[in-house]
Chain A
Amino acid sequence: MNRPDKIYGKGFVGKTLSRFAQLFENELYNERYAAGDGLLQSMDPRIKVLVVLAFMVFIGFTDNCIILVAAGTVSALYAAASALPLRPYLRRTWLYLPTLIFILNLPGASSLLTGGTPLFYIIPAGNFVHEGVYFSTAGLNMALRIALRTGDSMAFAFLLLMTTRWSDLTCGLRRMHLPEIFVSILNMAYRYLFLIAETGTDMMQARHMRTVGAIKSADSRRFVSSRAGQLFIRVHSMSDDIYGAMKLRGYDGSPVNLRELRTGAADWLFVLVNVIILVILTIGGYVF
């Protein structure tokens, strides 16, 4: 398969083009799995939203790293039961942002900012600094906790998005009595995102095709930032047409869905199972 980064090269413009291409790939990828036959795909989107929210609130209030790992494991089990490919799922949820957040929190985990029992020294005591510089157990625990919370929250949010069609999700949100304006903005943002990506890809490709020889990285960055303004102007004029096209087909702000949303016995059983899991995790937080 032709990967976008292979086609467009590794320059700044090439990388920007690859990102646009990846957006479309991701959308196709998500839609393919959302239309699958797994556990979460069969659930009512409203129930899924509630369960995911419950897990996110729980994760936000949990301090125990073991329990946070357990919550992450629950999300991975749900991913497996929903026939999502585990490796890409784990890579997309855990590899980048949680790792980055852990690294960014490391200075705060050192004795320069957080005291506590030394776990290991970066600069031994007495060499340059009298007490040395070290990571404390409390500091590392804090950094790990923040990274785990981020990863867990992303994992559940990702689970919801990967197993729910966008139209089902917004329809579910509207049926949960979220304000119409909120759901409309979500819908429009989603549609414009692809419009922007498509228009941006065209502009970048036009530049890519007319580029002969090496271009300085600074020039490429300047080009991308100046095109961002152009892109905004173009998309603004197209956005009026898109809204017009929606109005012409009867759109009045209320999202509609081809699939009928029904909450059945399986959905309520799913709620019950998750309540039990959350209770067990809460008790576990006191035990460990």
Chain B
Amino acid sequence: MNIFQLKNLNFSYSMRPEVLTGLNFSVEAGERVCILGANGCGKSTLLKILAGLLSPTAGEFFAFGNKMDPAVLSRDESKVYHRRVGYVFQDSDVQLFCSNVREELAFGPLQLGLSHDEVMASVNRMAESLDITKLLDKAPFHLSGGEKKKVAIASTLILDPEVLIMDEPTNDLDPRSQTWLLKLLHRDMASGDAGRKPHASDLLDGSKPHAKTLIFSTHNLELVPHIADRALLFNEDHQLCADLPVRELLQRVDLLRSVNLVDEHFHTHPWDFE
């Protein structure tokens, strides 16, 4: 089943040149897709379009089989869509706007109209699942960068979205936290098998048979093969220039170099300074 389908999609912010040009691709349910490209190539904009935050300026965007235009969605349709598609911002600060972490996690479930007891149970389970229980009563602006990212991810996962979109998820994360994220994504994105432990995605529905769809952008090429199966590569002209399995793409160093994702190996020798 197609989760997303883009046909000749273009996007430009008002009075500015196009940020995305002639995009054509689709994402199937359960796929793990990585968006790669240099700074300013339009990765974040594309993710925001998929998340329903921006409307394409030309072309067609289909989500879950229906033509999608966030500008004309009703309140209820918008809620349903955002329940199905979760988005983790690159900058965690913009995502954390409540007075403490507990309220931050509760914000989404409360907006969905869950009862107080259900919300509290979900918050506690999510905090335990992501090991952030000790942060629950802290103010977001007192957290470190890594802690903010964890809370931002938790506040999205608590809604149990079918599709998880993450913009540069490893930003602000130290190596240990990156490993934590990898484990979380492996655990949370895995197909349902009888023996798996209960995890974050089970919070609102304990019997999820299908894997989540994951779409994320990153510069961190080391991370990509551990999380994604497929990579979409953007060039600096804002066009999709490759749609390949991750392992195949990572072997094409010339292609990665042409889009400014890798540079000539830079190294020095001690005798250079003598």
Q: Is B one of A's binding partners?
A: yes
Interface flags for A232-275 (1: CB within 8 Å of B; 0: not) read 00000010011011111111101011101000000000000000
A143-151, A190-198, A204-212: which one contacts chain B?
A190-198
CB nearest neighbor in A for B102:
A258
A24 at interface (Cβ–Cβ under 8 A)? yes
Residues of B within 8 A of A191 (CB): 97
Q: Contacts A31-B139, A238-B94 hold; do A248 and B53 have CB atoms under 8 A apart?
A: yes
Of the listed residues A244, A249, A250, the one surrounded by the most CB atoms of chain B closer than 10 A to its CB is A249
Contact A167 B98 (CB under 8 A): yes
CB nearest neighbor in A for B104:
A249
Minimum C-beta distance from A166 to chain B (A): 6
Contact B75 A252 (CB under 8 A): yes
C-alpha gap A31/B140 in the complex (Å): 13
Mark out the residues of chain A between 26 and 51 whose CB falls within 8 Å of any chain B CB in the assembled complex: 27-28, 31
C-alpha gap A238/B10 in the complex (Å): 23
Minimum C-beta distance from A237 to chain B (A): 10
C-alpha gap A101/B91 in the complex (Å): 43
A165 at interface (Cβ–Cβ under 8 A)? yes
Residues of A within 8 A of B257 (CB): none
Mark out the residues of chain B between 139 and 160 whose CB falls within 8 Å of any chain A CB in the assembled complex: 139, 141-142, 155-156, 159
Residues of B within 8 A of A244 (CB): 48, 51, 53, 94
A245: contacting residue among B97, B110, B112, B119, CB under 8 A: B97
A249: contacting residue among B52, B102, B107, B119, CB under 8 A: B107
Chain B interface size, as a band, is 35 or more
B107: contacting residue among A28, A242, A252, A256, CB under 8 A: A256
C-alpha gap A150/B97 in the complex (Å): 32
Q: Is the interface of A mostly helix, strand, loop or mixed?
A: helix
Residues of B within 8 A of A167 (CB): 98-99, 103
Contact A258 B106 (CB under 8 A): yes
Residues of B within 8 A of A257 (CB): 110
Minimum C-beta distance from A123 to chain B (A): 55
B56-64, B82-90, B219-227, B234-242: which one contacts chain A?
B82-90
CB nearest neighbor in B for A198:
B141
B94: contacting residue among A31, A242, A247, A250, CB under 8 A: A242
Contact B82 A248 (CB under 8 A): yes
Q: Contacts A256-B107, A256-B110 hold; do A247 and B93 have CB atoms under 8 A apart?
A: no
For the complex of A and B, the 7 pairs showing the least CB-CB separation, nearest first, are A250-B111, A256-B110, A249-B108, A241-B94, A244-B53, A245-B95, A191-B97
Known: A242-B94, A244-B51, A250-B79. 18 other contacts (CB 8 A): A27-B139, A28-B139, A31-B99, A31-B100, A191-B97, A198-B141, A248-B51, A248-B82, A249-B107, A249-B159, A250-B83, A250-B112, A251-B107, A251-B111, A252-B75, A254-B111, A256-B107, A258-B110
Residue numbers of B with Cβ under 8 A of A are 48, 51-53, 75, 78-79, 82-83, 85-87, 89, 91, 93-95, 97-100, 102-103, 106-108, 110-112, 116, 119-120, 139, 141-142, 155-156, 159
